[in-house]
Structure 1
Amino acid sequence: METSLTIAEVAQRTGLTAYTLRYYERIGLIAAVPRAPGGQRRYASADMDLLDFLLRLRETGMSIQGMQAFVRLRNQGDASVGERREMLEQHLAEVQARVAALQQSMQALSLKIDHYRAVEKTKKRPPSSGTAPEGKTSNDEHTEPGPQRQPALHARPGQASRDRR
């Protein structure tokens, strides 16, 4: 015989509150949980498996409505396998796009941190000639330097200097 868990045990294992577990049951994310003779909910291992997967979906940002749609399809059995796969593929693509955006943000943060470390490192060095006037600080705008114009020191014969205006 399969062992069953109380709502307190499931809450402890999943990190969900008893209130959330009852809410999930009320909105149809999990089927009505069988009750012990005293009326206490008893969760089976199949309930735990579904809860584990729902937590994965929630962790990846799927909405309650999306999870409900998935569970409705799941309740249809094998006839909805293709729709469930498509739904999960679409969700996976959305998760991958968010991960890519986060990676870009992480890269931007890393560049800014490196910039500040370089500024701090320069401030720790003793001042040398040609340093910025006292009181000047680094600009938070981290932009790529534009093209630098170099004066034409020795123009070739027949070629005008670019610096003449």
Structure 2
Amino acid sequence: MTITQVSKRFDLSQDTLRYYERIGLIPQVNRTKSGIRDYTEESCKWIELAKCMRLAGVPIEALIEYCVLTQQGDLTVTARKELLVEERRKLMEKMANMAKTLDRLNYKIDRYEKAEVTGILSWDK
């Protein structure tokens, strides 16, 4: 697949794809004889993983480390698992914090909706 096709498929800019390749988030992308990038399904799996993890807020550095460890082979299975476990822990903490914020927003919105009906808004906290 060309960079244009991959860009459309994953809704990522071509610059982002080049950047991911340059920093090692996507293992070596094959090139045609004329030098055009030729993404394989394996490359696309890495792009899909990177996009998913970035949307969840996983740092680029952690993804690069994961990619490097993966390329080093089966001896890094434990290290890869530990990295993923730590990122999961961080993500769960973020989700808990976001849930608290959502509860707070819902509470405040409810108070304002009631004030719109009654015309009374007590001290706002």
Aligned counterpart, 1:33: 29
Task: Compare CA radii of gyration and give the structure with the larger one.
Answer: 1
CA–CA separation in structure 1 for the residues paired with 2:15 and 2:123: 47
**Cα offset for 1:138?**
2.5
What residue in structure 1 maps to residue 101 of structure 2?
A: 105
Find the counterpart in structure 1 of residue 121 from structure 2. 138
What is the match of residue 96 of structure 1? 92
Secondary structure, in 3 states, of the residue corresponding to 2:31?
Answer: coil
Distance in 2 (CA, whole Å) between partners of 1:117 and 1:7 is 49
TM-score of the aligned structures, taking structure 1 as reference length: 0.71
Q: Are 1:81 and 2:77 counterparts?
A: yes
1-structure distance, mates of 2:123, 2:24: 51
The amino acid across from 1:60 in the alignment is A
Question: TM-score normalized by structure 2?
Answer: 0.93
User: Unaligned stretches of 5+ in structure 2?
Assistant: none
Q: Which runs of 5+ in 1 are unaligned?
A: 124-136, 143-165
Structure 1's consecutive aligned runs of 4 or more residues displaced over 6 angstroms after TM superposition are none
Aligned residue runs from structure 1 range 8-157, under 5 A = 8-123=4-119, 138-142=121-125
Of the two structures, which has the highest relative contact order with CA contacts closer than 8 Å and spacing of 6 or more? 2
What percentage of aligned pairs have identical amino acids? 32
CA distance in 2, matches of 1:43, 1:121: 58
Q: Deviations over 1:22-80 (max 9, x none)?
A: 11111111122111122111000000111111111111111111111111111111111
Distance 2:102 2:85 in 1: 25
Partner SS state of residue 24, structure 1: helix
* Number of equivalences: 125
Instruction: Give the deviation of 1:140 after TM superposition.
Output: 4.4
Tell me which protein shows more helix as a share of its residues.
2
- Letter of the 1:68 partner, please give it: I
CA RMSD, 1 decimal: 1.3
In structure 1, C-alpha distance between the alignment counterparts of 2:93 and 2:15, rounded to whole Å: 33
